[in-house]
Amino acid sequence: MSNFMKISSESAPRVELHEKLGLTGAEISINTIGAGECVPFIHSHKQNEEIYYVISGSGKAIIDNEEVNLVAGDWVRISPVAERQFFANKDNAISYICIQVKENSLEGFTANDAIIK
């Protein structure tokens, strides 16, 4: 069995990658909200923080009743307990990647976790 997995993601409003890639420590999704539309619910999490990267378009997030404008290139980290909802601007869609991981679970990273050979 190989030590890696490669896929091409389909074009859909939401693509979840945890099953497609066999992820064991994170959930990653690719999301698109159509112009003038929104995620139809407000949500928070029990354990997982979310990291968002805006790929294209523009819109806003309402996070704990605070409006945060979003444009391509923006990164946003949201703690688990924060209530959030996402909206596309009326004139264009917004596409973003959402990375969901257990808060405070990172024990090592980059060079600290690498085995140099």
Give, for all 117 residues of the chain, the pLDDT tens digit. Answer: 588 878 787 777 777 888 888 888 899 999 999 999 999 999 999 999 999 999 999 999 999 999 999 999 999 999 999 999 999 999 999 999 999 999 988 877 777 777 778
The amino acid at residue 10 is: E
Closest CA to 36 of 58, 52, 17, 56: 58
Residue 69, strand partner residues: 60
pLDDT of residue 1: 54
pTM of the model: 0.87
The amino acid at residue 84 is: R
pLDDT of residue 6: 83
Cite the beta strand spans of 64-111 per DSSP E: 66-71, 75-78, 84-88, 94-102
pLDDT of residue 9: 76
Contact between residue 12 and residue 34 where contact means Cβ atoms under 8 Å apart = no
In the chain the domains, ranked by start, together with CATH numbers, are: 14-103 (2.60.120.10)
The DSSP call for residue 47 is S
Phi-psi region of 23 (alpha: psi -120 to 50; beta: other; left: phi over 0): beta
pLDDT of residue 107: 79
